[in-house]
Amino acid sequence: MAVKKAPDKQPEEKLLEKPIAQAKPKAPAARTNQAAFYMYIGPAIRGLISSNAIYRKDELKRLDDALAKYPDIKHLLIPGEQLGAARIAIKKPDSFLSVVYNRLAKQA
């Protein structure tokens, strides 16, 4: 009959002997809090901004005139990572995004 060998415990012991600094997993590369793109999910405002427009971070400066006239636009410029949740939230009548959307629609 075959004899089962007990698993070798040396690798586990070696892991425990390592200093704590070496045993820590490496942190992922530093992530910036800057989104790759932003999407405007508000109503179209003639001559200023169109609905579902996509902007890169460096293009947001073009919206200074629109933001000066309609400050609520900034609430509807959603980072790409949060776009799915924002689209769900804007459909709920009592959500903040929905209230801002309706306020902008009345102003425009």
pLDDT in tens, 82-95: 999 999 999 999 99
Residue 28 placed within a domain = no
Looking at residue 29, its pLDDT comes to 45
Instruction: Indicate the average pLDDT of the chain.
Output: 82
Q: pTM of the predicted model, to two decimals?
A: 0.67
Residue 87 placed within a domain = yes
Q: Residue 63: CB partners within 8 Å, gap ≥ 6?
A: 49, 55, 73, 77
Residue 2 placed within a domain = no
Q: Which domain holds residue 48?
A: 37-107
Buried b (16+ CB within 10 A) or exposed e, 60-90: eeebeebbeebeebebbbbeeeebeebeeeb
